[in-house]
Amino acid sequence: MSAAALVGSAATGREDAWSDIGSEAEPGEVSARWTAQLYAEYDVAHHLDVMARGVLYRVFLLTSSLQIDISFWPDDRFRATEPGFELVFGKANTPTSPAGPDPDHLAGMGWLYGVHARSAIARGRRWQAMLMLDGVRDQIIALACVRSGLNPHHGRDADKLPSELLDELARARARTTDDRELRRANEESIEALLGEIARHDETLAQRLALPAEAFVRP
């Protein structure tokens, strides 16, 4: 282990009772030692691994419901990738800025969820339809966050979006799995998606208008 850092809210003075705890180290054998130590010293219920760009993120859940995140970095990759980074000891490489999501990709994911919402409703797969409509809404929120200069990941800044948009999305949510309600939610969700896409790229929104009509057609 050659270096370690606090990341996220612990490094920016925003830590509260709901914040994650994180640290960073070399991967491989070190991660096994940390895992064994946490299970030995704390009441760990389970853990899971998430890999991203060659970095292992091991997430532990304690029986108290506390989440502990430990990320294990190869020595040549260890660096700040976001503002929340406080070096504890050792040396870090040159910081990099995280790349935000591509609005064009978010728009594409939005209409892809819309396509599957339509087919799920038509097939009577009501819970699949609910999940697909949730996906449409997630892309709208991410697009709006990008446009507003907010964190677009995992809804972290969703509550900072304009109340008008959030109210529109709240109204568009399906309240039951009734076929008529799903179709209403589908129509309003697609309308909201096109509106947000237009704020990024009016030409793209115009190109999507015609297929979007088919998304909501019975």
pLDDT tens readout for residues 83-97? 566 555 566 665 556
Q: Would residue 95 count as lying in a domain? A: no
| Residue 85 and residue 109 share a domain | no
Mean pLDDT of 186-211: 95
In this structure, what DSSP letter does residue 4 have? E
Q: Would residue 43 count as lying in a domain? A: yes
Q: Which domain holds residue 27?
A: 4-89
| Residue 107 and residue 78 share a domain | no
Q: What is the pLDDT of residue 123?
A: 95
Which residue, 25, 56, 89, sits at the end of a domain? 89
Angstrom CA distances, 60 to 63, 105, 151, 181, 198, stand at 10, 31, 24, 39, 41
φ/ψ of 10, rounded to 5, equals -65, -25
Which residue, 58, 89, 120, sits at the end of a domain? 89
Confidence of residue 179 (pLDDT cuts 50, 70, 90): very high
φ/ψ of 188, rounded to 5, equals -70, -35
pLDDT in tens, 5-43: 455 555 555 555 554 444 544 566 788 888 999 999 999
| Residue 117 and residue 59 share a domain | no
For 53-179, strand residue ranges (E) read 55-62, 67-72, 85-89
**Cα distance between residue 115 and residue 121, in whole Å:** 10
| Residue 131 and residue 69 share a domain | no
pTM exceeding 0.95:
no
**Cα distance between residue 148 and residue 52, in whole Å:** 26
For residue 53, is it left (φ>0), alpha (ψ between -120 and 50) or beta? left
Q: What is the pLDDT of residue 63?
A: 92
214 Cβ partners below 8 Å, 6+ apart? 118
CATH number of 8's domain: 3.30.460
Question: In terms of DSSP H, where are the helices of 82-173?
Answer: 103-122, 126-148, 163-172
Give me 107's structure tokens: 């728009």
For residue 121, is it left (φ>0), alpha (ψ between -120 and 50) or beta? alpha
Q: Judge whether 48 and 59 are in contact, CB under 8 Å.
A: yes
pLDDT in tens, 154-172: 899 999 999 999 999 999 9
| Residue 200 and residue 151 share a domain | yes
**Cα distance between residue 197 and residue 194, in whole Å:** 5
CB atoms within 10 A of CB 68: 17
Cα 5 to chain centroid distance, Å, stands at 23
Which residue, 89, 123, 153, sits at the end of a domain? 89
**Cα distance between residue 216 and residue 189, in whole Å:** 10
